[in-house]
Amino acid sequence: MPFNPANARLPRELRALPRERQPALANAARYWLNLAGFIDRLERLGSRFVVTMPASGAWVGLTDPKDIEVVFRSDAEAVHFGEALRMLSPHELVLGPTNLTALDGPEHLEKRRLLLPAFHGEALKKYEATIRERAREAADRWPVGEPAPAIDQATRVTLEIIMTAVFGVTEPGRLERLRDAVLALISEIGSRRFLLETAIATARRDGFSRQFPRIEARKAAVDSVVLEEIRERRATSESRDDDVLGRLLAVRDDDGKGLGNPELCDQLRLMLLGGTDTTATTIAWALDFLTHDPAALNELRRSVEAGEDGYLDAVVQETLRLRPAFPFTVRLTKRPLELEGLTIPENTLVAPFIALVHRRPDLYPDPLAFRPERFLDGRPGTYSWIPFGGGRRRCIGAAMSQLETAAVLSVLVDELDLNPVCREPASLGRHSVVAVPANGAPVLAKRPRRIRQESAAETVTPETIDLPRTRS
């Protein structure tokens, strides 16, 4: 191989890998400003590649499920997720230093063990009725007869679900203040100002160590409402297991110690923001795909009316395949990582590229097409369908997010006629580090024909059938 001076800065073990030849700053600019273009360029490099970034250095990108299995199954001390995330994302700034995503090693495993029961099995069954009730309210509120961004409507319903199912907040004034505070924080996180601040911070070592006063102020506003609820719960002797907060307050470690208020605020902020932003994005993408695919929308409506879940689950899985909330996940190697024919050195960022795994034609024929039926024959592969990451770091709220998405979609397609506004599905945009529909995925909703017919039976005025009525 001819000498390449750019390779001299790479660890010797990585120099033979295909690499993105642009300078680190150019790669970072494309990642933050043109995510779709960034992903497309990396797809050409194959199943293993190197891309360099400012401050964080060389990333080793992986798209082969066999390699990804090795990464996900690695010992908790061998690869760190929280440490890697601090280099690339504002997660710890926004969610706090004790939130589950920030922890590594035994501390993470212990905290995950304590928190996991609140998001699986019997706990999910208890949240399901609340989730469906909030979904029906969302259908009633959906603007009818005028285009409305699906992302905005989905954000509202997922936040309502999280506030009631996760927090169990029922006091109207507190519910309203929490809603306003969370939406203000979400808005600031998604602002162009914070996107620029995040891009600059990730290009510097310890870039998130400086002050971000606007983020801190909005975090404090959320925490003040959360603490009201926590203090009220602690003041009563009644134990509740019908919401996540009640379960977290009951958590005890092996020494009988519970979670303190600062840690509760961090974990609950993770659920409020992570549970709202990512799930709302999946719902919006699903509606965008469905309204541009009448056959899929009709099949979903038919299956929902028949009480069948198979196609609904397949729609959710296919949406998450085509549009995962995060295009990649990361690990920082704490010792050399052995893949077949490749040793990745210590202190290297390893990036299983979720979006590129999901676009492999050997795994998913016609990979860019929206085809829910590809998931009707069985469960997705553990290492070939990874929208929630995998291994010990798989998203703790994955099951709840899929339950929410399915519940909201089933209610919306059953109660509303949904139509596209734009000719083509939305392009890829950003809300901080989350991949969202660039145009918000606008949808035109109309009253279903059966409801119009019921209205016509009550009055003989034709206009009551033809004119849409805006719902509040």
Tell me the per-residue pLDDT of 336-384, one tens digit each, with 9 for 90 and over: 999 999 999 999 999 999 999 999 999 999 999 999 999 998 889 999 9
Over 90: is that where the pLDDT of 332 sits? yes
- Summarize pLDDT for 394-451 with one digit per residue, the tens: 999 999 999 999 999 999 999 999 999 999 999 999 999 999 999 999 999 997 655 5
Of residues 167 and 408, more confidently modeled: 408
Residue 325 maps to a domain? yes
State the pLDDT at residue 60. Answer: 98
Residues of the chain with pLDDT > 90, as a percent, come to: 75
* Range name among 30-44, 84-98, 156-170 with the lowest pLDDT average: 156-170
Per DSSP, the three-state class of 452 is: helix
85 falls within a domain = yes
pLDDT score, position 419 = 97
- Which CATH number do you get for residue 425? 1.10.630.10
- 73 within domain boundaries: yes
State the average pLDDT for the chain: 90
Are the beta carbons of 150 and 443 closer than 8 angstroms? yes
Given a cut of 90, is residue 466 above it in pLDDT? no
Q: What is the dihedral of CA 427, 432, 434, 439, to 10 degrees?
A: -30
Q: Tell me phi and psi for residue 254, to 5 degrees.
A: -65, -20
Look at residue 311 and tell me if it is in a domain. Answer: yes
More confident residue, 1 or 107: 107
Least confident of 112-116, 263-267, 419-423: 112-116
Q: What is the pLDDT of residue 465?
A: 31
Q: Give the pLDDT confidence of 115-132 residue by residue, as tens digits.
A: 888 888 888 888 888 889
Residue 464 has pLDDT above 70, yes or no: no
Structural domains counted in the chain? 1
Q: Which domain holds residue 96?
A: 5-466
- Residue 450: the pLDDT is 56
User: Where are any strands of DSSP class E within 13-136?
Assistant: 48-53, 57-62, 79-80
The reply to whether 230 falls in a domain is yes
Question: How far are the Cα atoms of 15, 68, 105 from residue 102, in angstroms, in the given order?
Answer: 31, 21, 11
Give the per-residue pLDDT at 178: 95
Q: Would you say residue 39 has pLDDT above 50? A: yes
Residue 14 banded pLDDT, cuts 50, 70, 90: very high
Let me know if residue 159 belongs to a domain.
Answer: yes
Q: Residue 172: is its pLDDT beyond 90?
A: no
Average pLDDT of span 156-182: 89
**Per-residue model confidence (pLDDT) at position 201:** 94
pTM of the model as a whole: 0.91
245-250 long-range Cβ contacts below 8 angstroms, 24+ apart: 245/166, 245/167, 245/168, 246/168, 247/117, 247/118, 247/123, 248/115, 248/118
Assess if residue 181 is contained within a domain. yes
Report the C-alpha gap between 131 and 135 in whole angstroms: 6
Task: Give me the mean pLDDT over the 80-85 stretch.
Answer: 97
CB atoms within 10 A of CB 98: 19
- Asked whether residue 472 is domain-assigned, the answer is no
